[in-house]
Copies of this chain bind each other. A is one copy, B any other.
Amino acid sequence: MDVKGILEKVREGKMSVEEAQKKFENLPYEDLGYAKLDLHRSLRSGFPETVFCEGKPDEYLAKIFETLYRENGEVLGTRASERQYQLVRALVPDITYDPVSRLLRAEKIQKEKTGLIAVCTGGTADIPVAEEAAQTAEFFRCRVERYYDVGVAGIHRLLSKRENIRRANCVIAVAGMEGALGTAVAGLVENPVIAVPTSVGYGASFHGLSALLTMINSCANGISVVNIDNGYGAAYLAAQINRLAEKH
């Protein structure tokens, strides 16, 4: 909100006090009644708003996608179901759906990808979360390399990829069960590591709590943690870091 510009217009009589007063209240979002879409978000944060689909009522979902796609020229939905894909496709024919990552995606424009983010997983069962991260990062214009099934129980698999992973501006380490991948990766690279605990496991893994605690307690430097299974959140953060690294 350009406070100074508005004030100058008021002083110069180009804008009435009432108009100005309104401006201060008029915030840059569209109110659909049921949801306040943040249309100017891509201006403010540099990334377009995405839609967390899980649990969204059917009647709202497609409309939200349509509005965002119309305004932004691109739209990304996370945690979508096959059924939600069908609903959205009726209004947004360009939409595509990836059942592994559960992402809905439409882009009018061809995007160039820059920088480098490495996405690693401890096992094959962590791939869905990793793909949510990887494809979201690509949607946010990052170049992505995938290193899957390189967990700590077979440490030589990770070590053989070390040089590649070190080149990334940021590494996303996705792991469930005991979740030690983040620490091992952070010990090998010099750029930030974002650890994503997954709910993969059984017994005392407590749906990802064990992996979350492991990662939060990591004794390695340069590692931080997002919520369990939150591949999207890791990708957003990685894209911010990648953008900072490539901005010049």
Contact = CB atoms under 8 A, between A and B. Distances in A.
Interface of A: 3-4, 7-8, 10-11, 13, 17, 20-21, 24-27, 29, 34-36, 38, 44-47, 52, 54-57, 60, 79, 100, 122-125, 127, 148-157, 159-160, 169, 177-180, 183-184, 186-188, 190-192, 194, 197, 199-230, 233-234, 236-237, 240-241, 244-245, 247-248
A108 to B, nearest CB: 22
A223 B237 contact: yes
B202 A228 contact: yes
Contacts of A197: 203
A120 to B, nearest CB: 12
B244 A169 contact: yes
A11 to B, nearest CB: 5
Contacts of A234: 224
A61 to B, nearest CB: 10
Given A209-B213, A213-B213, A224-B225, 16 more contacts: A55-B125, A123-B219, A152-B187, A155-B155, A155-B159, A177-B218, A178-B214, A178-B218, A178-B219, A180-B214, A199-B203, A204-B216, A205-B227, A210-B214, A222-B240, A241-B244
Contacts of A52: 125
B124 A219 contact: no
A227 B237 contact: no
Contacts of A179: 178, 214, 217
A248 to B, nearest CB: 4
A199 B204 CA distance: 10
A194 B222 CA distance: 11
Contacts of A224: 194, 224-226, 233-234, 237
Contacts of A241: 192, 241, 244
Given A10-B10, A225-B224, A29 B157 contact: yes
Given A219-B153, A225-B224, A191 B244 contact: yes
B213 A46 contact: no
A17 B9 CA distance: 10
Contacts of A186: 153
